[in-house]
Amino acid sequence: MVRAPGKTKLVMSLAKFESEEAAQAAEKQLKKNPRVVLVAKNKLLRIPPVIKEQASFTPSAATKDPLRPYQWWLDKIKDSIAPPPTGDTGRLIAVLDTGVDYTHEDLQGQVVLGYDYVNSDADPYDDNGHGTHVAGIVAAKRDNLKGIAGIAPNYKVYAVKVCDAYGSCPLSASSTASTRQRATPTWM
């Protein structure tokens, strides 16, 4: 990651090497350059599979969302979540994950399309399911007679795809996403 002279903007470059020795030699050289802010190996992270909770509790909240009674964790954390300021509906909460199924019935109108850093295209559609699960926890519509109740349904999710269909997440994808976000802030 390099900072241009006199600028705050960071630029990220990827390089591929034939051997570990060649990579280490390049890293050594790059670190001597004062404009180089960070040198790091590209890693592959993995997201865990979605685990369906067994219903070993007493459903409490009666709402119009059919799956809300099974969101036992929402009852536990609701008092620790500060409600958004009145009228503050324009903020975006970024979900950097496998993308988001923005056609999902409980997320209609709740998703703003960011970018697909895995396939380098403008459509961060979810081909795994994990990102949609997370997006639903954040911003699923409440009392719409469908699915669950989101924690912050008056905010929208900013869908950023940094993990592929198999749940593998190259570190370079999330690094590129955060670098671009720094250059042009879009989400919180």
Question: Residue with CB nearest Ca ion?
Answer: 116
Minimum CB distance to Ca ion smaller for 102 or for 187: 102
Residue type, 182: R
8 Å CB contact between 66 and 146: yes
Residue type, 130: H
Question: Which uninterrupted H or E stretch holds 92?
Answer: strand 92-97
Site map 89..108 versus Ca ion, x via CB under 5 A: -----------------x--
For Ca ion, the binding residue among 30, 61, 144, 174 (CB under 5 A) is 144
Least gap, CB of 103 to Ca ion (angstroms): 14
Minimum CB distance to Ca ion smaller for 164 or for 175: 164
Minimum CB distance to Ca ion smaller for 88 or for 123: 123
For Ca ion, the binding residue among 104, 130, 141, 156 (CB under 5 A) is 141
Question: Residues with Cβ < 8 Å from 32, sequence gap 6 or more?
Answer: none
Question: Residues with Cβ < 8 Å from 33, sequence gap 6 or more?
Answer: 2
- The conformational region for residue 108 under phi > 0 = left, psi -120 to 50 = alpha, else beta, is beta
Minimum CB distance to Ca ion smaller for 29 or for 60: 60
Least gap, CB of 91 to Ca ion (angstroms): 20
8 Å CB contact between 169 and 163: yes
Least gap, CB of 121 to Ca ion (angstroms): 4
Which residues bind to Ca ion, rule: CB under 5 A?
A: 65, 106, 116, 119, 121, 123, 140-141, 144, 146-147
